[in-house]
Structure 1
Amino acid sequence: MESVPCPACSTFFIPRNKFQSFCLEPGCQRTRKALWQKQKLASDPDYKEGQRLSQKKWLQNNPDYWKKYRLRNPEKAGRNRSLQKIRNMKQQHSPKPSKIIGIAKMDARKSRVQSLSGQYWLVPTVAKMDAVKIFIATVPINPP
């Protein structure tokens, strides 16, 4: 099998089967599981309800957890308070949704470098996309 890039860490690895897209590094496996759970919560109402009930039951059994956590971690609690103040200010002064500019830039490449021919993997770092293998061939501007 051909090596492919891991969507989490962008390193190339040889998958064990055609369905494996993440490498075996523990951090990458955590990312894979988090993505799976996010998709499952969005698409399966029964799973989402089960998770909600589980969290509710855990919170009933551990009512003082967050109070104790903030006492044990004052630097994290302070950081969270500061960041929440910033989020609140941004929310109060946010522009209309139509004026928000996206992150991805989809402009065409204007350079005429001839050395780009070959096969490449496009590995997204911001957008939610799978890695895609592409072939780039240069086309002469003035054919002979």
Structure 2
Amino acid sequence: MKSTRLCLSCGNPFVPLPHVPRQRYCSSKACQRARRRDWQNHRLRIDDDYRDNQARAQAKWRASHSSYWREYRAAHPAYRERNRGMQRLRNSRRNFEPIANMDVTVSPQPLGSGFYVLCDAHEAGVANMNAWTVHIAVLSAPTAPPI
């Protein structure tokens, strides 16, 4: 009789393959997927080169599939509505501070001529990361009130 082990993923007993003496997962698709996910998470934690390579590969994929999430949200309205509802809940838990870009600055003086970044806010107090660079030319500056 062959010895059985308990699968680390599903907990069911299985007989390990003879050529894989340290087998810890059964051969079901879900458990093999869990094994690969566990291996990748472990590798990401311990291997800087692997982590860097994965980050570069993901950035390359995002650059070549830049419209993926826009198209996904358009094709899955339930996902879009759930995400919006969750964002509203997160916003309500905040201390009424608006969400803004990380590069937004507050200017104590009036704006002068120059280049500025404008952001579209779909909901009050929420600025998204889609920004435009624009040139604003001041045509008339405020004058000092007469004394």
Task: Give TM-score, length-normalised by structure 2.
Answer: 0.56
Provide the C-alpha distance between the structure 1 equivalents of 2:40 and 2:57, rounded to a whole number of angstroms: 15
Structure 1 residue runs without a partner (length 5+):
94-144
User: Aligned in 2, Cα 1:87/1:45: closer, same or farther, shift over 3 Å?
Assistant: farther
Provide the C-alpha distance between the structure 2 equivalents of 1:44 and 1:15, rounded to a whole number of angstroms: 28
User: Aligned in 2, Cα 1:85/1:37: closer, same or farther, shift over 3 Å?
Assistant: farther
Task: Give 1:83 deviation, angstroms.
Answer: 3.7
Residue in 1 aligned with 2:42?
39
CA RMSD of aligned residues (A): 2.1
**Structure number, greater radius of gyration:** 2
Percent identical across equivalent pairs?
34
Provide the C-alpha distance between the structure 2 equivalents of 1:50 and 1:84, rounded to a whole number of angstroms: 31
User: Aligned in 2, Cα 1:32/1:58: closer, same or farther, shift over 3 Å?
Assistant: same
Question: 2:24 aligns to what SS in structure 1?
Answer: coil
Higher RCO (CA-CA < 8 Å; seq separation 6+): 1
Residue in 1 aligned with 2:59?
56
Structure 2 residue runs without a partner (length 5+):
96-147
State the one-letter code of the partner of 2:38.
Answer: L
Runs ≥4 in structure 1, deviation > 4 angstroms? Answer: 84-90
Which of 24, 27, 30 matches 1:27?
Answer: 30
Deviates more, 1:59-68 or 1:78-87: 78-87
Task: Give TM-score, length-normalised by structure 1.
Answer: 0.57
1:1-144 to 2 correspondence within 5 Å? 1-16=2-17, 17-86=20-89
